[in-house]
Structure 1
Amino acid sequence: MKRQFGAGIALGILGTVLAAVAIWIVVVYTGAYNVAASERHTDAVRWTLDTAMRRSVSSRAGGVEIPRDPPEDLLATGAGLYAGSCAHCHGAPGGEPEEWSRGMRPEPPRLAEAATEWMPEEIHWIVANGIRMSAMPAFGAHHTPEELVALTAFVDALPGLTPEDYAALTGTGGESAGAAPVPAGDAPARP
């Protein structure tokens, strides 16, 4: 009797897995899921992608030393990198992201608020490796380790910065504190 019960459970699990795979194949091959960026993800897809991303980042982050009280020159370097590469999509203190970035799915988070949800080591991992299917690029191959640390330190400090702080760090001196790039002379040199 126990043997038949166990076999029934095993067949039930196998049947469920096969049905799920069949549904997945039908959805993929029929184009039933709308992949248009003009439409928001369904709640189930948004939850799945967000949860997978957060768990993946937290399990891989670490192994890098991020200063807990970074010096202003490190923050200024990070601010310059942020202004030139990140503010377009994520916005900045006192500035909105570029309008075109609002059409991305998932929509890039406003880092002045969202950075509080991440540990500095996780921010570093995201900056260095990017996030698939989100338009978040991997900066690790194009930035030095020092630049990655500077950018991480800046993003970690971003929630506490005022528009005036941001303008001072980027050298914009009261100009647009949003997605305006830093003048070329202010960006750190690349090796």
Structure 2
Amino acid sequence: MERRPLTAGIFGGIFATLLVVVVVWLGVAYSGAYNVAATDKHADAVRWTLETTMRRSVSSRADDVDLPEITEEFIAEGADRYSESCVQCHGAPGKEPAGWSRGMRPEPPHLVEAATEWSTEEIYWIAENGIKMSGMPAFGPQRGPEEIAAIAAFVSGLPGLTPEDYAELTGGGHGHHDGAATVE
């Protein structure tokens, strides 16, 4: 007979805890207590939660990506597309991202280093679908799968490129409207 009050107490405690969490969550949301200004970095717990959620989401969805054969021509096409659409936020070998992109939250990763953390399939999924609330657009609605795959193949190889390699692949590395600063 004592199990029933113990079980009811456990479930009551769980319910009360969940109720407090919901009330605090709604209080923060409706009070405006959390500063959403891009000039204010996320609190560590918020940053960790958003980043972990994003990484796990991408990883679980990228398993369905089927990439075509990667050729030199394919990578060169990806380099050209990258210099047109990506270098402003993500930089390139010998090119810093445009200054305005450093004010984004979360700050876009510098893919010369960060691309090592992602598989080509994950990079493809990100380029195709974008990332909510990050400024990373979904290119899938405007670009075909081959073009996105070319970008993903190029980005996967970014960490091994020198500034000279990048300039050669992109016809000088200037891109179309790239706006990024060259590192001297």
* Common fold: TM-score over 0.5: yes
Counterpart contact for 1:102–1:108, Cα < 8 Å: yes
- 2 CA distance for matches of 1:159 and 1:65? 23
Q: What is the CA-CA distance between 1:150 and the residue it aligns to?
A: 0.3
- 2 CA distance for matches of 1:44 and 1:56? 18
Secondary structure of the residue aligned to 1:135 is coil
Q: What is the CA-CA distance between 1:67 and the residue it aligns to?
A: 5.6
1:79 correspondence with 2:79: yes
Match of 2:23 in 1: 22
1:181 correspondence with 2:182: no
Match of 1:139 in 2: 139
TM-score after normalising by structure 2: 0.92
Match of 2:59 in 1: 58
TM-score after normalising by structure 1: 0.89
Structure 2: stretches of 5+ with no match in the other structure: 178-184
Counterpart contact for 2:131–2:137, Cα < 8 Å: yes
1:13-34 Cα deviation digits (max 9, x unpaired) = 1000000000011101110000
Match of 1:4 in 2: 5
1:105 correspondence with 2:105: yes
Counterpart contact for 2:62–2:121, Cα < 8 Å: yes
Q: What is the CA-CA distance between 1:123 and the residue it aligns to?
A: 0.7
- 2 CA distance for matches of 1:152 and 1:91? 15
Give the residue type in structure 1 aligned to 2:128: A
Q: How many residues align?
A: 176
Secondary structure of the residue aligned to 1:143 is coil
1:26-76 Cα deviation digits (max 9, x unpaired) = 1011100000000100000000000000011111112333367x3221111
1:91-141 Cα deviation digits (max 9, x unpaired) = 000010000000000000000111111111111100000000100000001
Q: What is the CA-CA distance between 1:12 and the residue it aligns to?
A: 0.5
Give the residue type in structure 1 aligned to 2:8: A
- 2 CA distance for matches of 1:3 and 1:60? 43
Match of 2:130 in 1: 130
**Same amino acid, percent of matched pairs:** 60
Match of 2:14 in 1: 13
- 1 CA distance for matches of 2:27 and 2:64? 42
Secondary structure of the residue aligned to 1:81 is helix
Structure 1: stretches of 5+ with no match in the other structure: 184-191
1:31 correspondence with 2:25: no
- 2 CA distance for matches of 1:73 and 1:25? 52
Q: 1:67 to 1:166 in 2, by over 3 A?
A: farther
Q: What is the CA-CA distance between 1:11 and the residue it aligns to?
A: 0.5
Counterpart contact for 2:82–2:151, Cα < 8 Å: yes
Counterpart contact for 2:65–2:125, Cα < 8 Å: no
